[in-house]
Structure 1
Amino acid sequence: MLFGMSWDLTNDWTFAWSIIPMLLIGMKITIIATIFGFLIAMTLGLVFALARSAPTRFISWPVGFVIEFVRDTPLLIQLFFIFYVLPSSTGITLPALEAGILALGVQYSAYCSEVYRAGLQAVPNGQWEAARALNLSTWQTYRDIVIPQAIPRIIPALGNYLVSIIKDTPILSAITVMEVLHVANIIGDRTYRYMVPITMVGILFLILTLISAGFVKFIEKRLPRAGIAVK
């Protein structure tokens, strides 16, 4: 029994080393989807937050409805809508990876918008009054005073959503995106050995999330708590 167990472990290690190149190709797709999805989420989330904070209800109310709608509908439905429904209804066809990136970005932009809005509201009212006293426009106030002070406050929350996006990328396999978990499933289907590839995917995700969390903490420590100085 002991020798049999040793042989199985040796065989598993050999199998694990042989599939690493394929898993790394899938991990590359996972990282690409995460980075670009997060960039869309941060950019669109800021736009949503500024629009929702607008004093005009004709702007803030429709944007608020869009944010709530996106937050309250599953990511998988949004993914299917972008990839399957959008081409048939509008003629706009996106490749699977681009559709997945867009779905991740739109979904998490709704969450990021609330993070931005909380950060903007945390800036003391005295800063707004000082901006009015200097006769700064609304755009200048946001750009030079409010947003630089809000950024250090929201970095931890944005970092949490970065990790969440990483963990949500496997859902893109539903539209045949060859991310790392999809690759592991294909390996398992072809070899009838699932434990090794799935375990390795779990380890790769753990490493990726730990690196991302460490990067966020590094940025958080580097930024001054009082805000970013704008020249």
Structure 2
Amino acid sequence: MKIVFWNCNDGFQKKYSKLDEISADLYIVAECRDINNDKFTTFRETHKNIMYLKQDGDIKGLLIYSNKDKFTKQDWNDYNMDYYLPICFQDKKILCVWTKHGYIEDLCTYTQLHMNDLKDTIIIGDFNSSVIWDKKHGRRTHSFFNHLMNGVNHISAYHTQTGEQFGKETQPTFFLHRNELQPYHIDYSYVPENDGYHLEIGNRDFLDYSDHLPLILDINNDLKD
């Protein structure tokens, strides 16, 4: 199963053909405008199995789609935090995340409230977070989130695969104002430690379309060491 997550930085109706160049089973897109708009007519006609979440008062939301299989939303309480969308796809639970407003502090709280649900769940998305900003967030920090993930036997796919330390990543996922001189690693996937996986970060030609690069996560037990 291959999952692609991308924060499209708005205007997805003009960008989805670029994302479709990456062959995947499931696509998750943050900062997408309402797909019921007429501008998305062609997208709706050419794609299927679509789910979209946008809170009242917001312009952009979280889009999920698959051209291969259906998925179902899991009945988890979001406790009025944005944007957390848990689904079941190909017999796997996946928590799609775009932290807006409360950022890492809300993510820590959401995680603590759903510890039992997360035990066999893949988590992927734009966290808008890094351990380099821990001091700005009191006790609900990215380092604390990593502690919570340890409690459900989850690992960061990128950091485990590369052996790099948090806050010292050599492969950015975000470039402020699309400036390659201002790189940050703020998009993540956490997976159950027993899952076989491979993670890639999309090519920098995606900077022509967004300030984020896609995460490409392949889940396959054949990938286990």
TM range (shorter): under 0.3
Could you say which structure has the greater relative contact order, defined with CA pairs below 8 angstroms and 6 or more residues apart?
1
Which structure has the larger Rg? 1
Higher helix share: 1
Higher strand share: 2
TM-score of the two chains, using structure 2 as the length reference: 0.25
